[in-house]
């Protein structure tokens, strides 16, 4: 099973919860996550890599709700964080620091200090100046700090250009020659333990080829380092595993593991994985209510109460999210709709040219595969309170983030006397 959303008597369910019931109690729009799908995806990866006992650090930029994080952390996951804010969330989700890895090209001095004080497992370092900064902090705090160098293997991940990160011209990581020189000159960082390599070539990668190519290059690089007497303890393979949005046929966790595990044979490496989308993507839906049907020359617009501020992926990447009516009307007739939000931008669409059952005001629609990069990328644009988040487990559900209120919109704002 790819996920735990299904129809029973024409009604959409998440696990044993009727989604319409949630809508009635919580209002719309809202995000809904399946505990079972979330944790099963984590387990799938764990099983596929069990021979290497990997540390799976869920990439929390995909979904940072505390209940989601806690669910995964309790199952043994660590977290991949990229900011002081994410470190704060990770702590609130009671993630052991020894299961935290910290990436990002622009860590501030304060963020580095917080990470060092908390005692995270590894910093994933993206540049020489950053390395110097971490050395500075480690020296000041008299701590020994473990570091992975993020290398850029210069491979094309074959994914959307906005989410590809492994080409030479991207801002991420160090090219292999630079990384080699950094390892050779590690004396310059007396308080750092340069014990890991990190590689992440992009996101929503559906083929094994680019991964294989990248990891092969990394292994050759590692052999080069070993010849110089340098031992690498941690290998972080990043995230990037693609999922099904429409007709993709991504590699499964098992296929992925089978293809790449042979590369590490004979080496005692601690493998780290940083999946975000693979775990959370198909675990969540975004539910909206139809407000109006507007017919214009040649187009039917279904105007819904969720917009690009809630789910920006269609506007940003032209991404496709399948639409599941909460109640299927059972007639065969289909009509073509653009499903758009209430925001004052032409880019505010959730789906275009979609064949759907006839829609009426009040009809509830779920957008599938919205569990990753859905809520986390949402905003208050047009002064819209952010949506509620709900977690389902079996036959129960809980609001795990309240819908924002108008008062939340102006929190921290202040009109000075001289205005
Ligand atoms: N590790 C690093 C260093 C990353 O930069 C990312 C994602 C991940 C792990 C997790 O990648 P995943 O397993 O989720 O593919 N907003 C875009 C995706 C941006 C991905 C950014 N980095 C989207 O909605 O498609």
Q: In the prediction, which pLDDT does 159 show?
A: 75
Q: Which of 112, 21, 108, 45 is nearest to 272 (CA)?
A: 45
Q: In the prediction, which pLDDT does 48 show?
A: 97
Smallest CA separation from ligand 1 atom 24, residue: 373
Catalytic residues: 344
- Residue keyed to tokens 């008062």: 407
Ligand 1 pocket mutation, candidates 277, 311, 316, criterion most atoms within 8 A of CB: 277
Q: In the prediction, which pLDDT does 347 show?
A: 93
CA of 292 to the centre of ligand 1 (A): 35
Q: How far apart are CA 55 and CA 273, in angstroms?
A: 6
Which residues are near ligand 1 (CB < 6 Å)? 59, 61-62, 80, 103, 163, 200, 203-204, 238-241, 274-278, 313, 317, 372-373
Smallest CA separation from ligand 1 atom 7, residue: 203
Domains of the chain: 5-32+281-409 (2.40.37.10), 35-277 (3.20.20.10)
Q: In the prediction, which pLDDT does 187 show?
A: 96
CA of 170 to the centre of ligand 1 (A): 14
Contact present, 147 and 192 (Cβ < 8 Å): yes
Q: How far apart are CA 95 and CA 73, in angstroms?
A: 6
Q: How far apart are CA 301 and CA 329, in angstroms?
A: 19
CA of 276 to the centre of ligand 1 (A): 6
CA of 228 to the centre of ligand 1 (A): 33
Q: How far apart are CA 262 and CA 419, in angstroms?
A: 67
Smallest CA separation from ligand 1 atom 23, residue: 373
Q: In the prediction, which pLDDT does 156 show?
A: 85
Atom of ligand 1 nearest to the CA of 313: 24
Q: How many CB atoms lie within 10 A of CB 10?
A: 11
CA of 49 to the centre of ligand 1 (A): 20
> Cα-atom radius of gyration of the chain, to the nearest Å?
23
Query: In a structure prediction context, what are the per-residue pLDDT tens digits for the chain, which is 419 residues long?
Result: 689 999 999 999 999 999 999 999 999 999 999 999 999 999 999 999 999 999 999 999 999 999 999 999 999 999 999 999 999 999 999 999 999 999 999 999 999 999 999 999 999 999 999 999 999 999 999 999 999 999 999 998 777 777 677 777 778 899 999 999 999 999 999 999 999 999 999 999 999 999 999 999 999 999 999 999 999 999 999 999 999 999 999 999 999 999 999 999 889 999 999 999 999 999 999 999 999 999 998 899 999 999 999 999 999 999 999 999 999 998 989 999 999 999 999 999 999 999 999 999 999 999 999 999 999 999 999 999 999 999 999 999 999 999 999 999 999 999 999 99
Smallest CA separation from ligand 1 atom 22, residue: 203
Across the beta sheet with 17-18, what order do the strands follow?
5-8, 11-14, 17-18
DSSP-derived letter for residue 191 is T
Q: In the prediction, which pLDDT does 1 show?
A: 65
Q: How far apart are CA 160 and CA 320, in angstroms?
A: 13
Pairing of strands 78-81, 270-273: unpaired
Compute the half-sphere exposure of residue 10: CA atoms within 13 Å on the CB side of its CA: 7
Q: Which of 204, 217, 255 is nearest to 373 (CA)?
A: 204
Smallest CA separation from ligand 1 atom 8, residue: 239
Here the tokens at position 98 are 């020894």
Atom of ligand 1 nearest to the CA of 278: 13
């Amino acid at each position: 099973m790819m996920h735990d959303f299904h129809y029973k008597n024409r009604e959409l369910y998440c696990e044993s919860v009727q989604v319409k019931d949630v809508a009635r109690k919580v209002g719309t729009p809202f995000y809904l996550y399946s505990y079972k799908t979330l944790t099963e995806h984590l387990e799938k990866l764990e099983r596929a890599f069990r021979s290497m006992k990997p540390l799976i650090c869920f990439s929390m930029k995909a979904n940072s709700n505390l209940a989601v994080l806690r669910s995964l952390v309790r199952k043994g996951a660590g977290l991949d964080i990229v900011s002081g804010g994410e470190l704060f969330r990770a702590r609130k989700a009671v993630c052991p620091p020894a299961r935290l890895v910290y990436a990002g090209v622009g860590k501030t001095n304060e963020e580095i200090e917080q990470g060092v004080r908390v005692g995270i497992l590894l910093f994933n370092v993206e540049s020489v100046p950053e390395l110097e900064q971490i050395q500075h902090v480690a020296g000041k705090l008299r701590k020994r700090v473990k570091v992975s160098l993020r290398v850029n293997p210069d491979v094309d991940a074959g994914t959307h250009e906005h989410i590809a990160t492994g080409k030479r011209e991207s801002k991420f990581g160090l090219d292999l020659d630079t990384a080699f020189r950094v390892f050779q000159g590690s004396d310059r960082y007396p308080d750092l333990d340069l014990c890991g390599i990190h590689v992440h070539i992009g996101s929503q990668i559906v083929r094994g080829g680019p991964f294989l190519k990248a990891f092969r290059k990394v292994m050759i690089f590692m052999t080069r380092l070993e010849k110089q007497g340098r031992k690498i303890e941690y290998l972080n393979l990043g995230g990037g595993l693609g999922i099904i949005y429409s007709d993709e046929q991504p590699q499964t966790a098992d296929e992925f593991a089978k293809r790449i595990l042979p590369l590490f044979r004979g080496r005692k490496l601690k493998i780290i994985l940083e999946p975000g989308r693979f775990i959370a993507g198909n675990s969540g839906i975004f539910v909206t209510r139809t407000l109006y049907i507007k017919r214009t020359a040649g187009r039917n617009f279904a105007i819904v109460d969720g917009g690009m501020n809630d789910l920006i992926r269609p506007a940003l990447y032209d991404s496709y999210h399948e639409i599941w009516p909460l109640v299927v009307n059972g007639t065969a007739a289909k009509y073509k709709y653009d499903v758009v939000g209430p925001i004052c931008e032409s880019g505010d669409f959730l789906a275009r040219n979609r064949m759907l059952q006839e829609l009426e005001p009040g009809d509830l629609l779920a957008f599938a595969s919205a569990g990753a990069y859905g809520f986390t990328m949402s905003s208050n644009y047009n002064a819209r309170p952010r949506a509620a988040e709900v977690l389902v487990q079996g036959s129960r559900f809980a609001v795990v983030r309240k819908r924002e209120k108008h008062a939340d919109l102006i929190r921290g704002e202040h009109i000075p006397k001289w205005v």
